Amino acid sequence: MPRMTFPFGPQHPVLPEAIQLKLTVEDERVVEVLPAIGYMHRGIEKAAERNPYINNVFLCERICGICSFIHGMAYCQTIEEIMKVEVPPRAKYLRVMWSELSRLHSHLLWLGLLADSFGFESLFMQCWRAREIVLDMLEMTTGQRVIQSTCVIGGVRRDIDADQAARLREMLKTLKPQIDAVIPVFKHDYTIKSRTVGRGVLPKDQAWTLGAVGPTLRGSGGTWDARSTGYAAYGELEFEPVVETDGDSYARTMVRVRETYQAYELVLKALDRLPEGETRVKVKGSPNGEAVMRVEQPRGELFYYALGNGTVRLERLKVRTPTFANIPALLTMLPGCEIADVPVIVLSIDPCMSCTER
């Protein structure tokens, strides 16, 4: 059968960011995939070596808008590890609260994009309407809807008072029915299940071998979630990873659906158990040494490495993002699928190319 090769991307209605996949097909079936990346490279790691290390918090937050807070937190925790800084308990709980609000924001955004890929425009708008409530909560507590800039080395720069905590609980009560209204469609709708069940299957052994992370790994039965290490205040919140076993696009969707509810509960737990006290400690000196930090983004494990030389500028900063880890797994999911399945399978790993290329 004759073969044909054509590009999928970098501009495509279903792609939120620029990535190109060169698809080789026989008739309507994909037989080979070759990625082309590099459209969004910004030289952030090199820039981080030229800045005073304190300023890099703001730089790292701009690696990704959706995961902005978690990038900033990962960088701060890496420097805190090198400098042996103990963050106040209240700051740890606030970091969890903002991290899980970011996860809610990301998963609702992704569910809307998935609905849009099926042509379900009304469902797309309902998901994003629920997401607006999360953005309002972030704006109320941090002053910003997307780039929060509340993490600092030594804690957090903002606190919440009793009135804000009460308002957050009210807004969460408003959010819950809106989530409940859209989730059954993703679980039970015939069209969605026909486009996701059995499509883009990634067996558990392949997921481990290829280094998949996040919902891509946990949708295939893997149990690793960086939050299980107990960083920030996760070790005090009875956290359990969300796992599905079928390894297809539907399983990855269900992981994110269940994590949406889990993030909702974690925000409430963090509010209920928020300790009194300071929110930051003063940090003096410069980092001298190296450290590795692993945190859990909505897309999976985020890996930071920093090397300090005792000056105000780092010797090296290295970031490994979850999409970078999940691209090899994506390339094994696509061969054998039909051309019409490609957009949904690509979306099922929730690709973030601005994170990947930096």
The annotation status of 151 as a binding-site residue, yes or no, is: no
The annotation status of 319 as a binding-site residue, yes or no, is: yes
The annotation status of 45 as a binding-site residue, yes or no, is: yes
Residue located via tokens 């994003």? 128
Instruction: Dig out the tokens for 290 from the structure.
Output: 């190296």
Q: Which residues sit opposite 300 in a β-bridge? A: 297
- Total H helices, total E strands in the chain: 13, 8
The annotation status of 355 as a binding-site residue, yes or no, is: yes
> Three-state SS for 305?
strand
Please name the residues in contact with 272: beta carbons below 8 A apart, sequence gap of 6 or more. Answer: none
Residue 293 DSSP code: E
Residue located via tokens 């005792």? 310
Q: Is the CB of residue 98 less than 8 Å from the CB of residue 141?
A: yes
Instruction: Dig out the tokens for 100 from the structure.
Output: 């899980």
The annotation status of 76 as a binding-site residue, yes or no, is: no
> Three-state SS for 229?
helix
Size of the chain in residues: 358
Detail the residues annotated as belonging to a binding site for Ni(2+). Answer: 64, 67, 352
Detail the residues annotated as belonging to a binding site for Mg(2+). Answer: 45, 319
Detail the residues annotated as belonging to a binding site for Fe cation. Answer: 67, 355
Detail the residues annotated as belonging to a binding site. Answer: 45, 64, 67, 319, 352, 355
